[in-house]
Copies of this chain bind each other. A is one copy, B any other.
Amino acid sequence: MSGRLTVIGLGPGDACWLTPQADAALATAEAIYGYGAYLDRVPVRPGQARCPSDNREEQARAVAALAHAANGANVAVVSGGDPGVFAMAAAVCAEIEAGPPVWRELDVAIVPGITAMLAVAARVGAPLGHDFCALSLSDNLKPWELIEQRLEAAAGAGFVIAIYNPVSRARPWQLGVAFERVGRLLPGSTPVVFGRAIGRADEHVEVTTLGAAKSTAADMATLVIVGSASTRIVAREGRTPLVYTPRAMARTDQ
């Protein structure tokens, strides 16, 4: 079995975040699978097959890429951000587990990338500077009740919360409900960051508070960070405020 499958994180929209490891893996692949919008970010190379698919077809894409690799090819699958965070690496692992035994003999490698929450955090300071969690708000793949339980557990325990997939056309209401749920546990002054299309020409970052945050400020390209009770906003004249969560917690600050 000489096939190889590499799952590659492209990072957020700007090539300044594409690691040398990802660049090298892209250059040597014989075929590249991915959601069309991510594949469009990969330079066209002669002799390299490009296999775009829709963004709802992760499992089918994983199966196609694994089958291609099992024929002896050096195949890549690309994800935006990091492939291990709400992305293709888990889909590939699940299909390896469910698939024919020869798929377990493939050389499989995962190339990490800058995931969206790190890029959004960097734009405003260090909101993820202390304990935090990453949560997908999509209930396509898990029940909404569980999402609410996790939001409440995280906010109640003092984790900063990075919200992936905050809204979609089919789910316009969930972020508003999420704000309402965590708002029962956190002060209205808690900082909230909306980071949209980071690293792309239409990038937009907004710093607000839980009391003032409007769920309509988010779309499918947005990553939302909800601070903890410790998270702070530092105003700066003529500049975007800094948002950070202190590394140190006073003994009384629980």
Contact = CB atoms under 8 A, between A and B. Distances in A.
The secondary structure that dominates the A interface is mixed
Contacts of A92: 126
A16 B150 CA distance: 35
Interface stretch (A42-50, A135-143, A172-180, A209-217): A135-143
Nearest to A111: B122
Oligomer copy total = 2
A19 interface: yes
Interface in A103-122: 104-105, 108, 110-115, 118-119, 121-122
Interface in A195-250: 232, 234-237, 239, 242-249
A243 B163 CA distance: 23
Contacts of A130: 86, 90, 136, 142
A131 B133 contact: yes
A112 B246 contact: no
Nearest to A157: B153
B143 A254 contact: yes
A11 B94 CA distance: 28
Interface stretch (A31-39, A63-71, A77-85): A77-85
A153 B96 CA distance: 32
Contacts of A113: 114, 118
A19 B21 contact: no
A244 B156 contact: no
A242 B90 contact: no
B159 A133 contact: yes
Closest 3 CB pairs of A and B: A90-B129, A153-B157, A93-B244
